[in-house]
Amino acid sequence: MKSHMLSRSVLAVALLTVVFFQSTSSVRGESRNVADLVTAHLSAGEFQAALEIARSVPEEGERAVLLSQIAEQQIQAGDLTASQATLRQMPLNRTRIELAARRASRESLNGTGADFDSLIELIQAQTSGPWQEIDGVGGTINEYETGVRVDPTGLLSRLTRTEETKRLQELGIQSRQASLNADMAVDSSLRMVSLTRLEQAVAERLARGEPVVESMRNLAGLYRIQHVFVYPETGEVVIAGPAAGWQYTAQGLPLSTRGSEPTLQLDDLVTVLRTFSAGGEGIFGCSINPRQEGLRDLKAYVEQSQAKGPISSTSVRSWVNQLQRKLGLQDVEIYGVPAASRVARVIVEADFRMKLIGIGKLNGGAEIPNYFDLMTSEQVADVSSLDALRWWLSLQCEAVLKSENNQAFQIQNSSVLCQSENQFVNAQGERIQTGQAEATNRLFAANFTEHFNKLAQQDPVFADLRNVFDLALVAALIQKEQLAETAGWDYGVFANGGLYQPAFYEAPTVVDSVVNHRVFNNSNIVVQVAGGVRVDARRLVVEPRVSPRLNQVAVNAQAPELAEGRWWWDLNK
């Protein structure tokens, strides 16, 4: 039987990854004094000390100026690695682009070759744009903000608004009128968990050499967070949301009996609290990185195959398998949180499963068809010889509301947003961003976003990811609004270096590349390779918009009278 000859091979590489957070703490003092301190440290060559001061400045413009001065001095001193880290903390503007270009030039003169982040910024510096984040219009280029991107601090600065009706303030007062419910397994539309009381209870158990009990590890059965309260007079920081009992899956995952959603985990809370507190990095995430030599070999193999002419239909599968071997292993990078933490495990697993859905290796449901299913014959014909398709996940939140007295906060409709972009791979195996996403790429991302909550109901991994996002948003809110300081709470055993130790898991270091393909019209082969590119989510905290009425002193809010050691209660509806 004569085999069909495939006249054209087309390779699309799906490059996806995961994220993290950046935050700064505010300090009081004259701007001039801060600038003088930074200058003094720079003159002494004390870059880290200068950086810590700059990060503490609450005003974004002033902070950016100080960071640019530090980065410039680091570049002049030849400390290129440190300068790169400083540049990432700056807003993406012309100053940052010019400094990055100078850094890339210095790196090139050193004979090391510019890293890909610098190449991207060098492209921006040498092109007219316009670029969305620099000029306000045009393409988007966020320096590898791909994969699971968690950026609650940026969203807070854009979405936080005063609740004019005082409804949240009233809710904060009402929460004092709780009716204690001794049965934690009972469904509750709004369960209050005092983080300060919980921390004290955990500390007492640790001091006695006793294990942390199941109810503490599962945060009293909370499975979403809707509110955060601070009660200054009693020193309380409280989170609240729906809760129920839970049961364990065969894999040991605790799922709520209410809707089979994973319960929020104390380990995850402590991990992100430490990230967004004194001594924390203020950023976390992960990336699954295809090795540059793998991409280079992959591109060369594709070009050699195309030069030889059509591929027989009987050779397609072996050809695709060879693509997978050429790409090889991919490196897993985890930063900002311990690599062996549960948070790290959740974001890596969710990222990888999203890739599998995208390339058709995992069923995402009828509402989230894979990339192959979305392609039309016209789009197949337009695909270049080596496309890099990026999908990444970030935090989506309708709004963060706050009361006039700045003591009650409501998180409205937080979820997960999937975004997309097309890249191309050059002869050296470097991934070059375009700032654009073609129609099929955008459609997959839009479907993933629209139907994410339904997917989370079917696959607890994605619900777990949403929980991590929610906890990170809360941790950033506590840090940004100085709620712990307001309550006089130093995080105790939950602080960095504290006695509480979250569970450890085996930290992934490499993953196999996953390949899938489809033949269209017996002529075109479209291949996708699940891969990843590095992600860095950097959003500096800015002061939220406030109303003058915030000066009004709110009614003193008191936690209910609780039995000794009790740290949760249900709201009396």
Place of tokens 């890739």: 355
Residue 12 domain-assigned? no
| 162 and 137 in a common domain | no
What average pLDDT does the structure give for the chain?
72
Task: Report yes or no: 359 and 518 within 8 Å, Cβ to Cβ.
Answer: no
Give the residue ranges of DSSP H helices in 178-291.
Answer: 195-207, 214-217, 266-275
Confidence of residue 131 (pLDDT cuts 50, 70, 90): very low
For residues 6 and 396, what is the distance between their CA atoms, to the nearest angstrom?
43
Residue 14 domain-assigned? no
Residue 16 domain-assigned? no
| 291 and 430 in a common domain | yes
| 246 and 103 in a common domain | no
Place of tokens 């840090």: 479
pLDDT tens profile 336-370: 899 889 999 888 888 888 888 988 888 999 999 99
- Give residue 306's pLDDT: 73
Pick from 88, 117, 141: which residue ends a domain?
A: 141
Task: Report yes or no: 562 and 192 within 8 Å, Cβ to Cβ.
Answer: no
Dihedral sign, Cα of residue 288, residue 289, residue 294, residue 296 = positive
Pick from 82, 107, 141: which residue ends a domain?
A: 141
Across 378-389, average pLDDT: 59
| 132 and 150 in a common domain | no
For residues 462 and 448, what is the distance between their CA atoms, to the nearest angstrom?
11
Confidence of residue 502 (pLDDT cuts 50, 70, 90): very high
- Rg (the chain; Cα; Å): 25
Residue 106 domain-assigned? yes
Q: Is the pLDDT confidence value at 197 over 60?
A: yes
CB under 8 Å to 564, separation ≥6 — which residues?
none
Residue 15 domain-assigned? no
| 315 and 344 in a common domain | yes
pLDDT tens profile 31-54: 568 898 999 889 888 888 898 899
Domain that holds residue 118: 27-141
Residue 21 domain-assigned? no
| 313 and 462 in a common domain | yes
Residue 163 domain-assigned? yes
The count of structural domains within the chain is 2
| 148 and 132 in a common domain | no
Place of tokens 């003591």: 407
Burial (CB count <10 Å: 0-12, 13-18, 19+), residue 261: buried
Least confident stretch, 177-186, 366-375, 454-463, 542-551:
542-551
DSSP state at residue 566: -
Pick from 141, 164, 199: which residue ends a domain?
A: 141
Report how far apart, in Å, the C-alpha atoms of 107 and of each of 111, 138, 419 are.
Answer: 7, 29, 32
| 192 and 78 in a common domain | no
- Give residue 382's pLDDT: 61
pLDDT tens profile 79-130: 887 887 788 788 766 677 678 767 766 654 544 333 434 433 443 444 444 4
- Give residue 552's pLDDT: 32
pLDDT tens profile 418-434: 877 654 444 444 444 54
Residue 3 domain-assigned? no
| 167 and 128 in a common domain | no
| 160 and 49 in a common domain | no
| 135 and 166 in a common domain | no
Report how far apart, in Å, the C-alpha atoms of 192 and of each of 42, 177, 178, 226, 496 are.
Answer: 47, 11, 9, 10, 25
Is the whole-model pTM more than 0.75? Answer: no
| 189 and 104 in a common domain | no
CATH number at residue 40: 1.25.40
Least confident stretch, 206-220, 446-460, 513-527:
513-527
